[in-house]
């Protein structure tokens, strides 16, 4: 009997390669370093807007550019000068001087003329600005509730900053107040033209209005002022 062939052994599959170990990594990136690419439609929209702006600039009237180039050098210095003047005026703006009536003397200079001499003390409270008073201002004395009874002119003088000046206001009248021991209310008003000065620099001219309400006892040669209220105002 012929020898039988040995059966063939089936092929064994190759062993799988060794599996590598898988690890997970978490990478954190700051938000400000995340860059996104805009979609193409956004780029097309941006190009459209840029083209519209260019067309508007090209269609603008060329006279606008000419006017801007001509007027800018003119208005810019004017604007700077205006701002500088406002700042300067705010820093050196003078304060209204204060007035007080020290005494009143009544004189009969003639049969038809009576003279009223008011001794006035003036204080310039400003620590920067001197005041130059022009001569020829108008002064009036009147009754309370009645008409004026004496008029006169003011004298010119210069008052440095922070100084006090004694001023004489001489008013004359064709009428004389009746001598009485009763108290009378008299109103003294005066208008001055004042130039403001800083050192040798003369600034601007202003008007000064002064009003004093006085209670006077004894209208005779030496009247006595028992009370008073004086106000002054500087204005352009």
Percentage helix, strand, coil, to 5, in the chain? 25, 40, 35
CA of residue 29 relative to chain centroid, distance: 55
Looking at every residue in the chain, the average pLDDT score rounds to 80
- Residue 144: pLDDT above 90? no
pLDDT confidence of residue 134 = 95
CATH topology of domain 98-235: Immunoglobulin-like (2.60.40)
Phi first, then psi: give them for residue 212, nearest 5 degrees: -130, 125
- Residue 143: pLDDT above 50? yes
Looking at per-residue pLDDT, the higher value among 88 and 129 belongs to: 129
Q: Where are the domains of the chain?
A: 50-92, 98-235
Average pLDDT over residues 172-177: 81
Express each pLDDT in 191-222 by its tens digit.
999 998 887 777 789 999 999 999 998 776 66
Which of 1-5, 26-30, 87-91, 103-107 bottoms out in mean pLDDT, i.e. has the lowest? 1-5
pLDDT confidence of residue 18 = 56
pLDDT confidence of residue 109 = 83
| pLDDT band, residue 2 (cuts 50/70/90) | very low
């Amino acid at each position: 009997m012929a020898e039988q062939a040995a059966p063939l052994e089936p092929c064994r599959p190759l062993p799988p390669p060794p599996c590598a170990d898988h690890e997970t990594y978490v990478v954190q990136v700051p938000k400000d370093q995340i860059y996104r690419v805009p979609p193409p439609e956004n780029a097309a929209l941006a190009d459209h807007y840029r083209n519209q702006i260019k067309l508007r600039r090209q269609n603008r009237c060329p006279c606008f550019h000419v006017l801007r180039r001509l007027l800018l050098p003119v208005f810019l210095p004017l604007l700077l000068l205006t701002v500088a003047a406002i700042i300067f005026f705010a820093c050196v703006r003078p304060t209204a001087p204060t007035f007080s009536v020290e005494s009143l003397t009544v004189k009969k200079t003639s049969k038809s003329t009576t003279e009223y001499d008011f001794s006035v003390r003036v204080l310039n409270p400003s620590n920067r600005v001197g005041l130059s008073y022009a001569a020829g201002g108008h002064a009036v004395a009147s009754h309370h509730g009645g008409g004026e009874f004496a008029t006169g002119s003011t004298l010119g003088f210069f008052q440095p900053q922070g100084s006090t000046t004694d001023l004489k206001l001489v008013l004359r009248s064709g009428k004389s107040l009746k001598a009485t021991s009763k108290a009378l209310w008299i109103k003294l008003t005066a208008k001055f033209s004042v130039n403001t000065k800083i050192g040798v620099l003369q600034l601007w001219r202003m008007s000064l209005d002064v009003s004093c309400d006085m209670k006077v006892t004894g209208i005779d040669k030496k009247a006595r002022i028992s009370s008073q209220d004086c106000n002054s105002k500087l204005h352009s």
